Amino acid sequence: MKMEEVSVSSLDNSKLEALAQDILSDLVEDACLGLCFEVHRAVKQGYFFLDDTDQESMRDFIVDQPGLDVFGQVYNQWKNKECVCPNCSRSIAASRFAPHLEKCLGMGRNSSRIANRIVTGNNTNNKSESDQEDNDDVNDNDWSYGAEKK
């Protein structure tokens, strides 16, 4: 049956059914051909059988015991992870490392405000350098664990 521009309402039931059958067979053929190409490529590239595993051999690698992580290591949930700051070489809790590093490198949004305040203070009051350092320590919240409430 040739594809022509025909109004669907002008077709009788048998022609409409034949047209639907042709469309369905074309769709199924395209899907099968695509699957065949994918399988052929996977075999040629060598990754077709990668998902095949023996259940008995997989049991050696699966760790499903309480108190152990997925690698079989003892998992300590409350262990405090510590990081060393590359700028000042301080040991910092991992949960506070990003804020500390931001302040330590002077890249935070507050650091530019503090710098502007210090520059403005230098121009108007001519403070000594030790006063500026004290001001910097007041704004450093990295080591004030006692002030935080949980």
State the SS3 of the chain: CCCCCCCHHHCCHHHHHHHHHHHHHHHHHHHHHHHHHHHHHHHHHCCCCCCCCCHHHHCCCCCCCCCECCCCCECCCCCCCEEECCCCCCEEEHHHHHHHHHHHHCCCHHHHHHHHHHHHHHHHHCCCHHHHHHHHHHCCCCCCHHHCCC
- Domain range for 38 is 12-49
* pLDDT recorded at residue 130: 53
Does residue 57 belong to any structural domain of this protein? no
Are 90 and 45 found together in one domain? Answer: no
Does residue 32 belong to any structural domain of this protein? yes
pTM: predicted TM-score of the whole model, two decimal places: 0.33
Are 88 and 38 found together in one domain? Answer: no
Does residue 66 belong to any structural domain of this protein? no
Name the band, by pLDDT with cuts 50, 70 and 90, for residue 2: low
Does residue 23 belong to any structural domain of this protein? yes
Q: Over the stretch 122-141, which tens digit does the pLDDT of each residue have?
A: 666 555 555 555 555 555 56
Are 92 and 135 found together in one domain? Answer: yes
Q: Over the stretch 27-79, which tens digit does the pLDDT of each residue have?
A: 999 999 999 999 999 999 988 887 777 777 777 778 888 888 888 888 776 66
* pLDDT recorded at residue 56: 79
